[in-house]
């Protein structure tokens, strides 16, 4: 597998020279490093996932998309299906915030204002997570929330191969409603959404229905709202994201690695269509639907 370590990396690009990041160092994998767990046998020949058996490693994918679009939900499902770790930079940030470490106070101000966290901080957190995964023998990954800037994409390309970038899209009115409906169980950490989104069809868009993802009874009285899930902060996050995401999308589009997927509705409607777009079969999901 790819070998990661924390180091100082000097990264040169056309617009910025002698830019120093505390982040990744890439070492060429040996034959021993390439011994990774096999992918699920139910992946069809020719699918994006099954083709990486020939490379001797598991998939290395990225999920892009606006805050609240559902990157974490779909990345986690694919992670379980393909047997690779799901690494969400948002979770890394929240873990750092809860640890009360040296970065916590700095991160609190950034997150509460809806601003993007600097490349240096994100890369440092991600490199620590990848290093820990390497020590546990993890193979492959699905990144969620990284890269968010063109500089991050350039750095990532310099240290490892990204096979596929899945760009999830959702209309903005639904996005805002989803973000404002997010809830977390203060006891178990479960993620839920109390918003019931039902947007009528108009001239150029079909009706969109996204049912709420309600908690089990034992979590109902323990739900809390994220401090940054206010309408003003959500809109500011979306504005910043749109400004910075286009260069990243173009970066991967030029390399033929970008899959753009418009979410047609909630999970029951969108998940099978996403698998179809990826040419992946989920036998367990089909069994559940038939039951």
In a domain? residue 32: no
Tokens at 218, concatenated: 């034992």
- Is 241 contained in some domain? yes
Q: Quick one: which of 182, 209, 183 has its CA closest to 196?
A: 209
Quote the tokens at residue 176: 């805002």
- pLDDT of the residue at 25: 31
Whether residue 194 is contained in a domain is answered as: yes
Catalytic residue of the set 77, 178, 182, 183 = 182
Confidence (pLDDT) at 248: 95
Sign of the alpha-carbon torsion through 168, 170, 176, 180: negative
Does any domain span residue 99?
yes
Residue with tokens 């310099």: 158
CA torsion sign for 97, 102, 107, 109 is positive
Candidate list 57, 77, 148, 178, residue with the active-site label:
148
Is 71 tagged catalytic? yes
Q: CA-CA distances (angstroms) from residue 260 to 2, 12, 77, 234, 252?
A: 27, 29, 18, 23, 11
Give me the number of domains the chain comprises: 1
- 20 within a domain of the structure (yes/no): no
Q: Is 80 a catalytic residue?
A: no
pLDDT tens, per residue, the chain with 291 residues: 444 443 333 222 222 222 222 233 323 333 333 223 333 344 334 445 544 444 556 899 999 999 889 898 999 999 999 999 999 988 888 888 888 777 888 888 887 777 778 888 888 888 888 888 888 888 889 999 899 889 899 988 887 889 999 999 998 889 999 999 999 999 998 889 999 999 888 877 788 899 998 999 999 999 999 888 889 999 998 998 888 888 999 999 999 999 999 999 988 999 999 999 999 877 665 544 433
* Annotated active-site residue in 57, 71, 77, 129: 71
Residue 171 is a catalytic residue: no
For residue 161, the model assigns a pLDDT of 86
Beta pairing partners, 258: 165
44 in a structural domain: no
- Return d(Cα 204, Cα 189) in angstroms, integer: 39
* CATH number of 68's domain: 3.40.50.300
Query: Is 226 annotated as catalytic?
Result: yes
pTM more than 0.75: no
**Domain region containing 265:** 59-279
Domain membership of residue 31 (yes or no) is no
Stretch (H or E) spanning 272: helix 267-278
Q: Which DSSP category does 83 fall into?
A: T
Catalytic choice (53, 226, 235, 273): 226
5 domain-assigned: no
CA-to-CA dists, residue 158 to 12, 154, 204, angstroms: 10, 6, 41
User: Cα separations (Å) of 122 from 117, 152, 243?
Assistant: 7, 9, 19
Token pair belonging to 51? 């083709």
The reply to whether 254 belongs to the active site is: no
Judge if the upstream peptide bond of residue 78 is cis by omega within 30 degrees of 0: no
């Amino acid at each position: 597998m790819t070998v990661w370590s924390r180091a100082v990396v000097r990264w040169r690009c056309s617009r910025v020279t002698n830019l120093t990041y505390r982040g990744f160092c890439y070492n060429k994998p040996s034959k021993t490093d390439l011994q990774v767990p096999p992918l699920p046998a139910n992946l069809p020949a020719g699918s994006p996932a099954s083709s990486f058996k020939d490379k001797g490693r598991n998939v290395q994918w990225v999920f892009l998309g606006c805050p609240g679009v559902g990157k974490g939900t779909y990345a986690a499902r694919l992670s379980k299906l393909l047997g690779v770790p799901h690494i969400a930079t948002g979770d890394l940030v929240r873990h750092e915030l809860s640890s009360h470490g040296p970065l916590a106070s700095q991160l609190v101000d950034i997150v509460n204002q809806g601003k993007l966290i600097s490349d240096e901080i994100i890369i440092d957190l991600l490199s620590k997570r990848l290093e820990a995964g390497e020590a546990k023998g993890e193979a492959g990954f699905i990144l969620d929330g990284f890269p968010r800037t063109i500089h991050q994409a350039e750095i990532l390309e310099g240290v490892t191969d990204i096979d596929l970038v899945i760009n999830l899209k959702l209309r903005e009115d639904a996005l805002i409603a989803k973000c404002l409906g997010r809830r977390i169980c203060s006891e178990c950490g479960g993620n839920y959404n109390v918003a019931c989104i039902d947007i009528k069809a108009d001239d150029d868009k079909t009706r969109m229905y996204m049912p709420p993802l309600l908690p089990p009874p034992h979590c109902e009285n323990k739900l809390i709202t994220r401090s940054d899930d206010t309408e003003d902060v959500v809109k500011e996050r979306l504005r910043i994201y749109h400004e910075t995401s286009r260069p990243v999308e173009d970066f991967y589009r030029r390399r033929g690695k970008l899959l753009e997927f418009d979410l047609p509705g909630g999970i029951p409607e969108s998940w099978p269509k996403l698998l179809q777009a990826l040419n992946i079969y989920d036998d367990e999901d089909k069994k559940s639907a038939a039951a």
